[in-house]
Amino acid sequence: MSLLNKLGAKAIYVMEAFRRDQRGVTAIEYAVIAVAVAAVVVAVFSSGGNPLQNALNNAMADVETQINNAN
């Protein structure tokens, strides 16, 4: 077997091993999910007058009031 054939066989073996390796797939899936969640959060909180944003702001204000009254 010539050196060129050995290198070609090794390259094919390495590419097949890389193709079968699934370790990085989960990390990529989590990154895609994180980007989607971040986009939803930005969409919810970026628009003014959003009922969800107002409800959360009121809830946080109530928590802050309760903490200040406890002290």
Instruction: For the full predicted model, state whether its pTM sits above 0.95.
Output: no
**Alpha-carbon distance values, 21 to 11, 16, 17, 25 (Å):** 15, 9, 6, 9
pLDDT at 28 > cutoff 70: yes
- Domain containing 64 equals 3-70
Are residues 53 and 44 in contact, defined by beta-carbon separation less than 8 angstroms?
yes
pLDDT at 36 > cutoff 70: yes
pLDDT at 61: 92
Domain count, the chain: 1
pLDDT at 5 > cutoff 80: no
